[in-house]
Chains A and B, each alone.
Chain A
């Protein structure tokens, strides 16, 4: 048994019950083939970074499960054939489910760092660019060092 993580993006324009059914069918496929679902996470409808099949939003669902490797092509085939699935990705999952889905560690990483470090930050650190609000300093990091700071790019 290996641990995998499959994320699927389902067309959000279908009815809610239908979306639910599409997601559940993946779960069924995993368990029917002897897999064990460790975690099922519905990220819900969120904006796509770029349009897929003309859609700007997608319904995300994540499965973390243990399964035998030969099951993956079965799942993959199902997801490829299903018209409602906009996209899917299966990876070997070597993280800690508690951390990844629990959101605890990540959040502390986000917050603590910002609070702790910000005062000593020299203004050119790239990480801050998105906190400064759009349009501002922008891509700080690229013009470090001996090159002069060139906002215009």
Chain B
């Protein structure tokens, strides 16, 4: 039996989101881990276009102190 893997879909494509706002902390939060590092698209299932947009948004968010560059408080 082959291992069944759920097909990953890009959440942005699925929801037809074409612009990712860097001020939207709640949204960005799901794509970074507890340390504030970006999760790879390998795990989130984002398509390349949206992963790129997301990366840009997260980096902007970091500049504007909406997201942390790094956070020690983990675990």
| A and B associate | yes
List residues of chain B with CB within 8 A of the CB of A71. none
Is chain A's interface secondary structure helix, strand, loop, or mixed overall?
Answer: mixed
Question: Which residues between 22 and 78 of chain A lie within 8 Å of chain B, taking CB atoms?
Answer: 43, 48-50, 52, 58, 60, 62
B9 CB, min distance to chain A CBs, angstroms: 10
Is chain B's interface secondary structure helix, strand, loop, or mixed overall?
Answer: loop
For B, the interface residue count at a CB cutoff of 8 angstroms equals 32
A94 at the binding interface (Cβ < 8 Å): yes
List residues of chain B with CB within 8 A of the CB of A58. 65
Per-residue A-contact encoding for B29-56, CB less than 8 Å = 1, 0 else: 1100110100100011000000000000
Interchain residue pairs with CB less than 8 A apart (10): A49-B67, A49-B69, A50-B68, A50-B69, A62-B23, A87-B63, A95-B19, A127-B44, A130-B29, A141-B33
Given A109-B27, A113-B11, A9 and B19 contact (CB-CB distance below 8 Å) = no
> Once the chains are docked, how many angstroms separate the CA of A9 from the CA of B69?
17
Using CB atoms and an 8 Å cutoff, list the residues of chain B in contact with chain A.
6, 11, 15, 17-19, 21-24, 26-27, 29-30, 33-34, 36, 39, 43-44, 60, 62-69, 71, 74-75
- Contact partner of B33 (CB less than 8 A), chosen from A87, A91, A126, is A126
- Contact partner of B15 (CB less than 8 A), chosen from A7, A109, A130, A135, is A109
> Once the chains are docked, how many angstroms separate the CA of A54 from the CA of B66?
16
Using CB atoms and an 8 Å cutoff, list the residues of chain A in contact with chain B.
7, 9, 43, 48-50, 52, 58, 60, 62, 87, 89, 91, 94-96, 99-100, 105-106, 108-110, 112-113, 120, 122, 126-127, 129-130, 135, 138-139, 141-142, 144, 153
- Contact partner of A109 (CB less than 8 A), chosen from B17, B18, B63, is B17
A119 CB, min distance to chain B CBs, angstroms: 13
Contact, CB under 8 Å: A89 / B60? yes
> Once the chains are docked, how many angstroms separate the CA of A7 from the CA of B66?
12
> Once the chains are docked, how many angstroms separate the CA of A112 from the CA of B75?
29
Across the interface, name the chain B residue whose C-beta is closest to A141: B43
